[in-house]
Amino acid sequence: MRRALLFISIVLLTLGAAGQVSAVPQHKGTSTLSGMVLGPDDKPVAHASVSYQSSNGSEPHAVHTDSHGHFVISK
């Protein structure tokens, strides 16, 4: 479990550095983070768990990628 979480974190950081993860304000006070999880072979990872924690320190949350490796986190 920890290896999977570490792997997803590394992938998200890599995508963020590459500019493929974007946070776009939709309305005042809301935002959306979306991206794609890629495996070590640079292919999309279907049904991967992407976990995150709000800046207010609340419990961690998770979303899953679709069959094409895409995910969306909305506030």
Answer with the residue of higher pLDDT: 68 or 12: 68
| pLDDT given for residue 50 in this prediction | 92
pLDDT of residue 17: 46
Mean pLDDT on 40-63: 88
Q: Which residue has the tokens 């979306």?
A: 34
Domain that holds residue 44: 2-74
> Which residue type is seen at 39?
G
Average pLDDT, the chain: 77
The rounded percent of the chain whose pLDDT value lies above 70 is 61
Q: How many structural domains is the chain composed of?
A: 1
Give the DSSP H/E element, type plus range, for residue 17.
helix 2-18
46: helix, coil or strand?
Answer: coil
